[in-house]
Amino acid sequence: MELMDQDSLLKSAANGNRRDLSRLLTYVERGIKLNYPEKTHPRKSSVIGITGPPGVGKSSLIGRIISYCNSRNQNVAVLAIDPSSPRSGGALLGDRVRMESADSGELVYVRSLSTGGNPGGLSSSLISMIELLSYCGWENIVIETVGSGQSEIKIVAFADKIILVDGPDRGDIIQAEKAGIIELADIIVINKSDLPGAIKAAESIRSSLSFADEKKSPDVILVSAQMNDGIDEMMDLVENCDSPDWREKIKIQERLLSLWDSRLLSSPSLNRIIDELQTGSISLDDALDKLAR
Amino acid sequence: MLQGGSPFRIFDTMKIVMAKPGLDGHDRGAKVIARSLRDGGHEVVYTGLRRTPEEISRIVMDEDANALALSTLSGAHDVLVPRICELLKETGMGNVMVFLGGIIPDRDRESMFSSGVRAIFGPGSRTDEILSFLDEANSRVESGAPIGVGDGDGWRWN
């Protein structure tokens, strides 16, 4: 990979050259730090994180968010994340298939990412990618996480607003009683509202949240990405909701952890230390001490 | 899961966009190939069905892909493939490698290659052969030899 002339790439990307933006995103994905011109004041983008279990319609919903933003003449960049194979390191990235609005027009940019394509960990490269997109004038940035369980709070590290997506057919509502991402979401969207069971699912989640602090609990709304129903209401809520203050602290903590992970993963001695751990010649504590040095 | 970041990932693999251009609704073959490329360690972006040449070249650009795999069974390859190759060249993506799968009659192979296609994998192709092709392409890149759609030089796999 050629590293020449980062400055002119940056300039051209900021002037709207997609090809150069794409190239720079690859650099950043691979852990290369960009040097922004000093006098630039940071442009502020609105960063929306979309999370939720696999198959609830996150990508389809993002397709609608793209159309929503574009119809208001706002641009939107999407970073869609799918898992890498732990065995081969390869990945099949299929989120684009569901985003019908993604492949035309100057007002949308979609990039597929794998969890394994980043030497320093995905979280830290995402933070840098958001910074770059923001610098290049993308007003709205949407991050789609891989289908997640309950404990995925890393999204807090990048997103200003978090949408938790769920579906009508998710069975046991005790899931909603469990703590985790559900407490961090700004709004909870029950997608596929055109299917039976959606209203019941929304009610169950509402009632389980009602036991918590009422003023702070997120709105639960019904949406159908397929039928394009409820999208405007959803975006209104996203734009107007106030995230709780305590989340800022968690955000900073998660950013710190991401950077820590990144340092660890990009340490030149990592592979050797893992080998030593495997043969049992050092303990986990020893390994950490060695890495921290 | 936003973690990940395997320390073992070495970048001798490719990011490959897999697309089905035009009016062709059969993608079993494309999906099988996409999976085997994944198992070979590559990153594959699957675009879904019925994409226009403009959409495809745009996706290759946004994804900053190293290679484009086109699958076509409809018989329209003689129009669509040269158009896509031209678009890539026109938009500064002449370094992207293009390879082809599906039904390509023998009489059309030469014109596909002269558009810039580097390999054609028809029915009965083995997935490990496709992976060997990508390995060779990668070692060409390392030695500075061209593989792109706009690079000329006549290298082809088959």
* DSSP 3-state of A138: coil
In a domain, B31, yes or no: yes
Contacts of B58 in chain A (CB under 8 A): 103-104
Q: Taking the domains of chain A in order of start, what are their residue ranges?
A: 35-244, 245-293
Q: Could you report the predicted ipTM of this complex, rounded to two decimals? A: 0.86
pLDDT of A142 reads 95
| Domain membership flag for residue B122 | yes
Would you tell me which residues 12-31 of chain A have a C-beta closer than 8 angstroms to some C-beta of chain B?
Answer: 18-19, 22-23, 25-26, 30
Of residues A133 and A199, the one with the higher pLDDT is A133
Coil/strand/helix, residue A179: coil
**B43 touches A: beta carbon within 8 Å:** yes
DSSP assignment, residue A185?
A: -
Tens-digit pLDDT profile for residues B57-103? 999 999 999 999 999 998 889 999 999 999 999 999 999 999 999 99
Whether pLDDT at A152 is above 90: no
Full 3-state SS string of chain B: CCCCCCCCCCCCCCEEEEECECCCCCCHHHHHHHHHHHHCCCEEEECCCCECHHHHHHHHHHHCCCEEEEEECCCCHHHHHHHHHHHHHHCCCCCCEEEEEECCCHHHHHHHHHHCEEEEECCCCCHHHHHHHHHHHHHHHHCCCCCCCCCCCCCCCC
- Supply the mean pLDDT for chain A: 84
Percent of chain A with pLDDT over 70: 87
**Residue B38 within any structural domain of the chain:** yes
Closest CA relative to residue A155, chosen from A31, A18, A50? A50
The tokens of A146 are what? 């891989």
What fold, for A35-244? Rossmann fold (3.40.50)
Instruction: Summarize pLDDT for B9-60 with one digit per residue, the tens.
Output: 345 789 999 999 988 888 888 889 999 999 999 999 999 888 899 999 999 9
**Binary contact (B1, A152; C-beta < 8 A):** yes
H or E stretch at A251: helix A246-265
Q: Nearest-CA neighbor of B63 among A288, A274, A290, A113?
A: A113
Instruction: Answer yes or no: is pLDDT of B123 > 60.
Output: yes
- Whether A282 shows a pLDDT value over 70: the answer reads yes
**Does B8 fall in a domain?**
no
A271 and B CB contact within 8 Å: yes
- Residues in chain A with CB shorter than 8 Å from the CB of B47 are 96-97, 103
According to DSSP, the residues that pair with A66 across neighbouring strands are: none
Domain membership of residue B41 as a residue range: 15-142
Q: Is A84 on the interface with B (CB under 8 A)?
A: yes
pLDDT per position as a tens digit, A18-59: 999 999 999 888 888 888 887 766 678 899 999 888 888 899
Name which of B2, B43, B61 is nearest A152 (Cβ-Cβ): B2
Residue B6, domain member (yes or no) = no
What is the pLDDT at residue B26?
84
Is B150 within a domain? no
**Domain CATH code at residue B42:** 3.40.50.280
Q: How far apart are the first and last CA of chain B?
A: 41
**Chain B residues with CB-CB distance to A104 below 8 A:** 54-55, 58
**Where on the phi/psi map is residue B117: left (φ > 0), alpha (ψ -120 to 50), or beta?**
beta
Number of compact structural domains in chain B: 1
- Contact indicator for A97, A60 with CB cutoff of 8 Å: no
The DSSP element (H or E) to which A201 belongs, if any, is helix A198-209
B5 assigned to some structural domain? no
In a domain, residue B83? The reply is yes
Contact B11 A25 (CB under 8 A): no
Those of residues 6-35 in B touching chain A at CB distance below 8 A are 6-9, 11, 13, 34-35
For A227-246, write each residue's pLDDT tens digit.
999 999 999 999 888 777 77
Q: Is A223 helix (H, G, I), strand (E, B) or coil?
A: coil
Largest CA distance in chain A: 61
Q: What is the CA radius of gyration of chain B?
A: 15
Q: Do B61 and A22 touch (CB under 8 A)?
A: yes
For the segment A204-232, the average pLDDT, to the nearest whole number, is: 82
d(C-alpha B97, C-alpha B93), whole Å: 9
Average pLDDT over residues A174-178: 54
Q: Looking at chain B, how many residues does it have? A: 158
Q: Residues B131-147: pLDDT tens digits?
A: 999 999 999 988 888 89
